[in-house]
Amino acid sequence: MQKVINLKEKWDLLVTKLTDQFADGDELNMDGIIYLIGVQELGKGNTPFKKDEKVNLMHIAICKLLEPYGYYEFDYYDDDSWPHYKIITELPNLKPGEQTVLMKEAIINYFDVLTYLED
C-alpha cells in the first residue's frame, strides 16, 4: 500500500474502510463516524440505543476525540458504565470549516492509535 500523506487522503481512506465495514451501501458521514466511536468507547456494541443515548454516545466520542488536544479529560464511569469527561479548556471559536478540519484530524488520530488503517 502506498503511504497516505495528507489529511484528505487519510480521511477518504478511513471513510471508505468504515463504510465498507459498517454501512449498507451509503457512505458514512462525520456524524456516523462519531457515533461509531461513541459506541466503541462505551463498549456495548450490539445494543439498541434510545435517541437521547445516541446523542450521549456522540458526546462521549467528541470528548474522547478532543481529549488529546487538552479540551477534555476523562473523569469517571457512572453506575451504568458510561464514561464522563470534564472540560479542561474551553473550545476556541472556530469557523465551520475549521471545526471540520479539527474533527477530521482528531478522528484520524483516534483510528491511527488503533492502527485501523494499517493493513
Range of the domain at 51: 7-113
The predicted model scores a pTM of 0.91
Q: Could you tell me if 116 and 17 are in contact, meaning their C-beta atoms sit under 8 angstroms apart? A: yes
Look up cell 488503533; give the residue: 114
Q: How confident is the model at residue 117 (pLDDT cuts 50, 70, 90)?
A: confident
Domain tally for the chain?
1
Q: For residue 119, tell me if it sits in a domain.
A: no
Q: Is there a domain that residue 118 lies in?
A: no
Query: What is the per-residue pLDDT for 76?
Result: 97
Give the model confidence (pLDDT) of 42-88 as tens digits.
Answer: 998 888 999 999 999 999 999 999 999 999 999 999 999 999 999 99
Q: How far is CA 106 from the centre of its chain?
A: 7
The verdict on residue 56 lying in a domain is yes
Q: What pLDDT does residue 3 have?
A: 58
CA distance 25 to 70: 36
Q: Residue type for 114, please?
A: L
The pLDDT tens digits of the residues spanning 40-55 come to: 999 988 889 999 999 9
In a domain, 2, yes or no: no
